[in-house]
Every structure is written in structure tokens, then in C-alpha cells.
């Protein structure tokens, strides 16, 4: 599969200054860099805290590497007047600033939206924070766990009484996605009018926003949704079922697929059972339905049922580990797993952008930077531009 050239990427030429750490902000910056933006990551002297997160390979964090490809690293002590002046000069030239500090921190440093837009009126300034820039909880900090708890995700996750978070940090990455989408949209207007915007991206709000099905259920019924494990509140069979050697997930999302499942297990008469006459009734009686279906599933291995449901056209999947998921032939076809060289020469792999542009893959242009790798280069280039 061919790779798209940098000058063909939609954000080629866009200059982004990233004042971010850990996950939500760096993920936002990386998404912009994947689309061609030139992202300069400003780090404190100790570096982004994610650099210390394991697994560590030859002294370099693989977690950090996964969120910081295609970026330059510049170390600045923003409490030092000389370094602060460098940051201000870079911000004056930037198209975008992304920051994920607590509200008020950037203002106190002289790098807030009011200060920077006065110097650079076309600037798109994106603030990602736990609860937003205003309101009764705006001064609170937050990490993915606490935002999942606050936004209700943990109340509908798992199938036991114990609170369980989603295994993937959905609050961090949903916020990064909202940030990147909003920045890209705002750049269109800024380029056309010369007037930038301040984007307030609250992790709490983003996490509630992606829970549209759960919030609408509450609005419609007055009852908070509960835990269903892998099941669905409005349809069945739509969950994981036990086979003889593991589990298989089945998503029979309409009546036609429901009948296909019944044909596959040799129970077509269940279509006439009044308990299962509609998706709503099947969801209401899914415990009984699961017991019936699993008496058939447990007699054959997962591979057998995959063949059966492939022929029947019923959406399904084995419950993969990440090792299995990354070995899927579709991953090879997508070409998303690419080699990565960490500082120090250790080689690893990373999962890159899954997006294709006119059928072409978005290449990883540069490895994640070592701390301060580009500080001298960026300072020297800035001095030359200021002299000119």
C-alpha cells in the first residue's frame, strides 16, 4: 500500500505548539501530526510525566512513544523569563496551541488565550481539562479513572457489584478526538477570516457526550442504565456466549439476523416464542434467551461457530486478546503496525493512524523524540527568523 506524501496531507503547513502531558492532550497533538501538522511539544525540564511510565525499553517509555510520534521536543522552563520569551515567540508564529493544564495555569504563566490572541489574532487555542474552563468543578483536576467515575461510565461497565472502569482509557482518548476534530474545524474559519477561537474541551463533557445511548435512555425512562456485562439494553442476542473452548460475541441487531442465529443453532421455532417476538422483548428476556442458546454453543469450539456465523452472515467475533487482535489479517492489510526506533536504538512497533486518504496510508514521518531533542534546533531557527 502506498504512503501519502506530507504535502498532500490536509494539515501540512499547520504549526502546532503543544503544552501537554500524559494522554488526552498528547493524543490530540499526535492526531494533528498524523494529518500533516508540524507539532512542537513543549516539555518542562523533567519532561512529560508519561516518559516514566512502563514498559521501559532501553530507558524509553513505550507508552510515551505510542502518543508522541511525528513531534519535536523542546524543553523550556516556563518560570524562567528567557524560556518564557521563547515560548511566547513560538506561540506568536503558531496556528494552534493545545494545552491540558488545570484552568488558570497558562494564564498565570502569560501563555493563556487572552495573552496569546492579542499577539496572534488568528490563533486556534485548545484547552483540554478535566471539567472545563468555567463552572463549579472547573478547578478540579482529573485523570481518566476519575472522569469515568464522574461521567457514569463505571456504573454501566462490567457485570458485578464492584465498580469497574473501561479497560481502555475512553475519557482521555475521546477528549483528544474531540480536541483534534474541533481544532481542524476551527482552522477552516481562522484561515478564512483571520480570527481564531478558544476551544474549551472538558473530559467530563466529552465522556458524557459519547454516552449518548445511555443518557438518552435515562432521559426517556427516568431510570439510570445499569450493568449488562457484554449484553445490550435494547437488543438480543447481542453479547458474548460461552462455546466449548472460549467465548464468541454475536450481534444479531435485527429480526433477520435473529432468525439466522436460530437457523444456525437449529432452533427456528424460537421465532414464535412470545418472549422473543421483538428486539425489545428479547432484550427484556435475554437471560432466558442466553441460557437457551448457550446449551447449543457449549457443544462446539469457537472456530466452529465462526464458520457457522460466517456462512449465516451474522456479525460475530472471538473474544481476542491484544496479541490475537494485532495478529488479525485485517491489521496486516491496513498496514497500521509500523516499526519504531526508540532513542538509544531499541526497535519496537507501534499502531499508527488507521485512516486512509484516497486509498493511501498515512506514514509515520518521525520517531518519538527524546527529551529536548529539538531544543537547540528550534531556538536557532527562531533566532534566525527574528533577525530577518
- DSSP SS3 for 241: strand
Bridge-partner residues for 126, per DSSP? Answer: 98, 199
Nearest to 41 by CA among 26, 27, 56: 26
| Dist CA 263 CA 270 (whole Å) | 10
User: How long, in residues, is the chain?
Assistant: 388
What does the alpha-carbon distance between residue 74 and residue 360 come to, in Å, rounded to a whole number?
A: 31
Q: Euclidean distance between the first and final Cα of the chain, in Å?
A: 43
| SS3 category, 125 | strand
Residues noted as catalytic? 172
Contacts of residue 365, defined as CB under 8 A and 6 or more positions apart, other chains included, come to 6, 33, 69, 70
Structural contact between residues 363 and 78, judged by C-beta atoms closer than 8 angstroms: no
Q: Which residues have CB under 8 Å from 46's CB, separation 6+?
A: none
| Cα–Cα distance list, 233 to 162, 252, 286 (Å) | 20, 13, 9
> In the chain, where does DSSP find H-type helix?
24-34, 62-67, 81-93, 105-109, 113-119, 144-150, 170-193, 203-209, 212-221, 255-265, 279-284, 286-297, 302-312, 322-326, 329-334, 375-387
**What are residue 19's DSSP bridge partners?**
99
Q: In a 10 Å sphere around its CB, with 0-12 CB exposed, 13-18 middle and 19+ buried, how is residue 268 labelled?
A: exposed
Amino acid at each position: 500500500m502506498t504512503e501519502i506524501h506530507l504535502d498532500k496531507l490536509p494539515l501540512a503547513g499547520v504549526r502546532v505548539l503543544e503544552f501537554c502531558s500524559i494522554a488526552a492532550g498528547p493524543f490530540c497533538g499526535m492526531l494533528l501530526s498524523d494529518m500533516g501538522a508540524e507539532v512542537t511539544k513543549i516539555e518542562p525540564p523533567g519532561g512529560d510525566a508519561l516518559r516514566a511510565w512502563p514498559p521501559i525499553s532501553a530507558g524509553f517509555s513505550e507508552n510515551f512513544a505510542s502518543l508522541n510520534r511525528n513531534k519535536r521536543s523542546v524543553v523550556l522552563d516556563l518560570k524562567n523569563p528567557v524560556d518564557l520569551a521563547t515560548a511566547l515567540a513560538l506561540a506568536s508564529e503558531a496556528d494552534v496551541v493545545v494545552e491540558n493544564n488545570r484552568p488558570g495555569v497558562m494564564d498565570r504563566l502569560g501563555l493563556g488565550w487572552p495573552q496569546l490572541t492579542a499577539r496572534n489574532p488568528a490563533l486556534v487555542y485548545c484547552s483540554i481539562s478535566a471539567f472545563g474552563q468555567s463552572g463549579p468543578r472547573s478547578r478540579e483536576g482529573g485523570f481518566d479513572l476519575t472522569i469515568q467515575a464522574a461521567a457514569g461510565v463505571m456504573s454501566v461497565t462490567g457485570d458485578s457489584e464492584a465498580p469497574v472502569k473501561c479497560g481502555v482509557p475512553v475519557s482521555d482518548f475521546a477528549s483528544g478526538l474531540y480536541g483534534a476534530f474541533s481544532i481542524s474545524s476551527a482552522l477552516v474559519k481562522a484561515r478564512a477570516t483571520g480570527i481564531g477561537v478558544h476551544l474549551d474541551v472538558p473530559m467530563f463533557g466529552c465522556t458524557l457526550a459519547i454516552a449518548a445511548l445511555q443518557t438518552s435512555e435515562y432521559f426517556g425512562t427516568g431510570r439510570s442504565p445499569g450493568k449488562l456485562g457484554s449484553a445490550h439494553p435494547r437488543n438480543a442476542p447481542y453479547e458474548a456466549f460461552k462455546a466449548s473452548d472460549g467465548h464468541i460475541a454475536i450481534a444479531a441487531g435485527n429480526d433477520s439476523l435473529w432468525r439466522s442465529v436460530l437457523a444456525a443453532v437449529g432452533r427456528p421455532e424460537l421465532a414464535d416464542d412470545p418472549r422473543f417476538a421483538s428486539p425489545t422483548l428479547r432484550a427484556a428476556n435475554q437471560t432466558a434467551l442466553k441460557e437457551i442458546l448457550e446449551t447449543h454453543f457449549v457443544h462446539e469450539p469457537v472456530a466452529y461457530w465462526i464458520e457457522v456465523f460466517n456462512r449465516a452472515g451474522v456479525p460475530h467475533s472471538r473474544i481476542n486478546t491484544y496479541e490475537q487482535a494485532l495478529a488479525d489479517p485485517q491489521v496486516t492489510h491496513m498496514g497500521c503496525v509500523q516499526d519504531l526506533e526508540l532513542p538509544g536504538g531499541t526497535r519496537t512497533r507501534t499502531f499508527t493512524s488507521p485512516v486512509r486518504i484516497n486509498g493511501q496510508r498515512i506514514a509515520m514521518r518521525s520517531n518519538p523524540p527524546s527529551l529536548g531533542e529539538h531544543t537547540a534546533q528550534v531556538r536557532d531557527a527562531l533566532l534566525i527568523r527574528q533577525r530577518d
